[in-house]
Amino acid sequence: MGAEALAHARRALAQGQPLQAVSLCRESLGTNPGDIDVWRLLCRASLAGADLDTAREAARQAIALRPRNVQLRLRLAWVLWVRGELGEALQLAGEIERSARGKAGASARAGAWYERTGQLDAAWRCCLRAMERAPDDARWVTAAARVAAARGDAERAGSLCERAIFLQPGEGEAWFLRSRLRRHTADENHVHQIGYALDRLDPDDPQRAPLCYALAWELEDLGHDEAAFGMMREGARCLEADREPREAPGPAACAAAERSFDRRWLQTRATGEDGQGWVFLVGQPGSGLALLERLLTSAEGTLGLGDSGQWNFLVARSVGPHQAWDERLRRAATLAPEALARTWLATLRPLSDGARWMIDRSRENVLYAAQIQRALPRATLVYLRRDPLDSCLAQFRALPTVDGRAGMPDLAAIGRRHAAFHALMGHWRRHLVPGFLEVDYERLVSEPGAVLEQIRTATGLPVGDADHCGLERFQAGVGRWRRHEANLAGLASQLREDGVPVG
């Protein structure tokens, strides 16, 4: 496949035409089957279009061309994960991890795979091995800091950030992670150091964005709100050039879910399996889902799956190859809930590890709320609400490389996504019975024990200790939007026009 043809296939994928990209790749491979770049692109395009047999074939063919390439083998493990072959995926990841013990980079890449799939203990294990092999490589120290923070170990994450910055003063992600771990004061802050690090970077250096966000967080702590928002805008500008489409549900997906799972569907579909012991969290990006999951999984016998996307993957492979959300959700409404339930329970069994309660906070859960309720009638749907402007601001302040799908550098796009989510939640409220257990972010961070008791009373889920989660940072986010009211005026107007109550 020539460079021009490869670019054409990549462009088709970027424009939301994955099946066209698949066709272009297959056409090229007919004349040049040894082109590994085409096999890689075919794997990506097939995953995007839910052509999972082709994705597996492409991953294996790429490995056949470069059998010792760790990234290609981890890509196959991811394909297996999306296919619902979780046991096989974990087995392959384990083999890669064991073979990588002597190589820092390979261990770190295995850790990133585990982190992506929510296996944080395994991710931490790999990070430790990477640092053991290359203790002076700031990249692996930063990765370990990110995993430590995700596991709720703020103290260790902070010390790792300090080490990464010492090793590489321009390591932007380490600065950003450290800025988020605690509130800063006039006597204890890094504003001048971050500014100095920024001044030393070229305008197009990829480290500029995380340093801008780090500086924004610390300036905000010091009360310099206008300067802080200016740095958020600068960080967003740096990210604009490197934006990629995200799977987080947007306006098209939310509208398609409302059309597909309409009132008639809710009145006619049969129910599936039991679902006792399953809790599905639903909320906007930036609404605190990761915090709620961490609080809920602090009790013995509970296991968090993170932002696993597994119900969305289940639907994708059940409906077969398709081009867009509208088609996926339209076909999803034709699936039998009882068959989905049986497949779901069998698929997730390898992850249970004896846990009596499983908690899933996938962003796509909001799209499939009705389907989940029908398939697993004794499962609990928990909706975590947050002030709309605080939720949108949290997304704008997030860094995509750290926060994944929570981060988005475009306030107008954030507003459109929020309004679409709000409209879909209104649809579920009107038609789902018994509906969601609704809890407020503001009460969660001020009275976590009371919220956990509310959930325990409704579900029977055991309650753990809420005191260890370090809620000061989260409490500071309540009403934060008021500090940036002038800069968020356009967003507020947009939300009001779209029917979202703000202010």
Domains (range + CATH), the chain: 137-242 (1.25.40.10), 251-497 (3.40.50.300)
pLDDT higher than 70, residue 243: no
Average pLDDT over residues 442-450: 94
| Confidence at 356, pLDDT banded by 50, 70, 90 | very high
| Confidence at 248, pLDDT banded by 50, 70, 90 | low
Average pLDDT over residues 249-260: 92
> Containing H/E element for 282?
strand 278-282
Q: What is the DSSP secondary-structure string of 126-173?
A: HHHHHHHH-TT-HHHHHHHHHHHHHTT-HHHHHHHHHHHHHH-TT-HH
Average pLDDT over residues 207-217: 96
pLDDT higher than 90, residue 271: no
Residues 6+ apart with CB under 8 A from 64: none
For residues 238 and 212, the answer to whether their CB atoms sit within 8 Å is yes
Whole-angstrom distance, CA of residue 434 vs CA of residue 373 = 9
The pLDDT of residue 244 is: 44
pLDDT above 90 coverage of the chain, percent: 77
pLDDT above 70 coverage of the chain, percent: 95
pLDDT higher than 80, residue 140: yes
Average pLDDT over residues 53-72: 96
> Residue written as tokens 């394909």?
79
pLDDT higher than 70, residue 59: yes
